[in-house]
Amino acid sequence: MYETIGIWVGAIFTLAIYSFLYKENSIYRLAEHLVVGISAGYGMAITYQITIKPRLVDPLLSGDHWILLIPGILGLLYITRFIPRISWMSRYPIGFYMGTAMGVGFPLTMKARVLRQLEGAMVPLYQSGMAWYEVTGNVVMILGTLAALIYFFFSKPHKGLFFGTGSKIGIWVIMVGFGATFGFTVMGRISLLIGRIQYLLGDWLHVIE
């Protein structure tokens, strides 16, 4: 019984959202406001259940982890935004969070996005037993990386043989890469659409098995 109601609600709201393809209308607006309201409320409950309760409230009530009072108080400072006279205090948790995130993120980014990428670009052009297409692939990869890096030089005009031609090749390499990514992602989106149509025609209308 509940499953059937769930399928009907899901199908009706799917069609309500799809009605946007025709134009913005009151049915879409109803679905939009419901999904926004429900998700906001649900998100709050989930945050309490999976973060605040097990990681702050329960350990504090057990009486062993008084150190958690510090992040707890920092978090509560956000609420000072509702009191204009002391709303400046909400900047402390924001500053702390941003600073920590940047501090923790910097070495990770340096490793994953600089040194690991550099390591990946320093490959041998040819080794015994390598097929011709692998060699070509290595050459294209190295030259393409260099050209793309030239494109992202901001302090030099894109003129002349090195910066001019290099940046032109660079943008071509970037666009070819984007084309491949586009095709790959569109395939994923089509499979999502197929899934939704299967839900409507199969689970709801039982037109297909």
Partner 1 sequence: MRKNWIGIPALMILLLLPALSVARGDDEILTPVAEEQLAEPDPGLDVSGTVTVQDKDNDAGDLLLVSFELPADTEGIFAYNVYRRVAGEEGEGSWNLVEIIPADGLSEFIDGYDPEYPIASGVLYEYRIASATVDGEEFFGPECEAGVVSKGEIYHTGKTKIFIASILFIGLIFYYFGKAQKGIEMYMRPIAGIEAIDEAIGRATEMGKPVLYVPGISSIADVATIASLTILGRVAKKIALYQTPLIVPNRDPIVFTVAEEVVKQAYLEAGRPDAYDPDSVFFVTTSQFAYVAAVNGIMMREKPATNFYLGMFYAESLLLAETGSLSGAIQIAGTDAVTQLPFFITTCDYTLIGEELYAASAYLGREPKQIGALKGQDACKAIIMTFITVALIFGVIDVVANTHILDWFRDLVTSPIVD
Residues of this chain that bind partner 1 (CB under 8 A): 17, 20, 23-24, 28-29, 31-32, 35-40, 42-43, 78, 81, 90-91, 94, 97-98, 101-102, 105-107, 109-111, 114-116, 118-119, 121-126, 142, 145-146, 149-150, 152-158, 174-175, 177-179, 181-182, 185, 189
Q: Nearer to partner 1 by C-beta: 185 or 198?
A: 185
CB atoms within 10 A of CB 38: 10
Q: How far is the CB of 36 from partner 1 (least distance, A)?
A: 5
Q: Residue 40: what residue type?
A: A
Alpha carbons 157 and 84: distance in angstroms, whole number:
49
Alpha carbons 197 and 133: distance in angstroms, whole number:
41
**Alpha-carbon Rg for the chain in angstroms:** 27
Structure tokens at 137: 């692939």
Q: How far is the CB of 73 from partner 1 (least distance, A)?
A: 17
Q: How far is the CB of 170 from partner 1 (least distance, A)?
A: 11
Q: Nearer to partner 1 by C-beta: 52 or 174?
A: 174
Alpha carbons 202 and 64: distance in angstroms, whole number:
53
Alpha carbons 153 and 166: distance in angstroms, whole number:
11
Q: Nearer to partner 1 by C-beta: 87 or 201?
A: 87
Q: How far is the CB of 166 from partner 1 (least distance, A)?
A: 10
Nearest Cα neighbor of 9 from 26, 36, 31, 40 is: 31
Q: How far is the CB of 117 from partner 1 (least distance, A)?
A: 8
Structure tokens at 100: 């920590």
For 124, list phi and psi in degrees, rounded to 5: -65, 140
Structure tokens at 74: 């920092």
Q: How far is the CB of 7 from partner 1 (least distance, A)?
A: 19
- Which helix (H) or strand (E) is 138 found in, with range? helix 132-151
CB of 71 closer than 8 Å to CB of 59: no
